[in-house]
Amino acid sequence: MKDSYWRPISIDSIDPEYFPLIPLFLKSSGNYVLYKDAERPFTSEDRRRLERSFTEFVYVRSGDMLEINRYLESNLTKLLGRDDLNSTAKGKILYQSSVNCVIDMFESPESSAHIERCNSLIRHMMKFAATGSHILDAFHSIAGHNFYIFVHSVQVTALGMLVHEKLFNIEHDEMMDVGVGSMIHDYGMIFITDKILDKADPLSDIEYYKVKQHTRKGYEYLRDTGKFSEVALNIVHYHHERFDGAGYPSGLKKDDIPRSAQVASICDVYSALTLDRSYRKAVSHQDALKTMKQEAKAGAFNVELFNRFEELVTMMKGH
């Protein structure tokens, strides 16, 4: 069975009281083994047992995701409001839900139902970012699957919204557009073959050329659905532009690059560096910032914006 058939669920996001009756599996040396069937509810004892064996994730069949999403998203307000869950656990729940939503967005970005779910998650993320200083901690907890692109998309969204919230005084509607645009910023990657994306060796010139097409292809496809605002589409289109004009696809310079895309490009690189990839291990928060500072000086980013970003994530990390 293909790996994409299985979806990981963080056990922190399972509330025994409300979790739907679906079979859960454990991953054991590459195989998926039934942990409990649909008849038996998941209990607090299950949670404790799994925690004792340091199990962080259970797996469900992708066909059961509809029910899980319904459960997670309809209980989100309740789950995030609970006093007995710490903010790391709440972060995991929010990330889990958001990753599930981004997966569905990538499958059918024109679906109004998915866009509505996205909007609702972005609203939760905004609230969570405003109250929880643990937002960065939650980032790594759901990483490490074959879900890089989705986890990365959610990270870029959370970071991008944090930056907009703290540094710019923008209207609620624009904030929502920034959120949606960030969630689907790499949508164009669906047009790139897995062979290129999973490659462990450096890309050839032709392969790199193909990867670079993801901005324009994603932009054109999403624009043609007629469902996305200019702010959201700008992020998809221009998140690989460089401040000095050496980026792609258009080679825009300085403030010709829409601000939301300037922010997205910084968050994009930070997230990419601090997550494990097929070709290298994750880099620490400090090392990522160090590398990026050099890049900023060399012309990759708006230096002033980068400095403020650095201050912000350092403050969040040092809480």
Q: Interface with Fe ion by CB under 5 A: which residues?
A: 186
Least distance (Å) between residue 170 CB and Fe ion: 23
Based on CB atoms, which residue is closest to Fe ion, 46 or 186?
186
What residue is closest to Fe ion based on CB? Answer: 186
- Let me know: does 151 contact 145? Beta carbons within 8 Å: yes
Q: In this complex, which beta carbon is closest to Fe ion, that of residue 104 or of residue 186?
A: 186
CB of 186 to Fe ion, least distance (A): 4
- 126 or 189, CB closer to Fe ion? 189
15 vs 186 by CB, closer to Fe ion: 186
Residue 13 or 157: the one with the smaller Cβ distance to Fe ion is 157
Our CB check for Fe ion shows the closer of 88 and 213 to be 213
Instruction: Output the six-digit token pair for 282.
Output: 């994750």
Query: In the bound complex, what is the minimum distance in angstroms from residue 176's beta carbon to Fe ion?
Result: 21
CB of residue 189 to Fe ion, shortest distance in Å: 7
The residue among 167, 174, 173, 179 whose CA lies nearest residue 128 is 179
Beta strands in 158-247 (DSSP E): none
Of 157, 215, 225, 159, the closest CA to residue 190 belongs to 215
8 A C-beta contact, residue 170 and residue 126: no
Q: Closest separation between CB of residue 314 and Fe ion, Å?
A: 24
Closest CB 240 distance from Fe ion, rounded Å: 6
Phi, psi (deg, nearest 5) at residue 7: -120, 130
CB of 215 to Fe ion, least distance (A): 6
Q: What amino acid occupies position 90?
A: K
Which residues face 60 on adjacent strands? 7
| 31-36 vs 57-61, strand pairing mode | unpaired
Nearest to Fe ion of 186, 241 (CB atom):
186
> Which residues are CB-contacts of 101 (< 8 A; sequence separation ≥ 6)?
69, 114, 117, 118, 121, 183
For 256, the enclosing helix (H) or strand (E) is none
* Nearest to Fe ion of 7, 185 (CB atom): 185
Q: What does each C-alpha distance from 80 to 42, 57, 102, 205 come to in angstroms?
A: 20, 19, 20, 46
Candidates 127, 126, 107, 104; CA nearest to 116 is 104
**Parallel, antiparallel or unpaired: strands 6-10 and 24-28:** unpaired
Closest approach of Fe ion to the CB of residue 192, in Å: 10
- In the chain, at which residue ranges do the beta strands (DSSP E only) sit? 6-10, 24-28, 31-36, 57-61
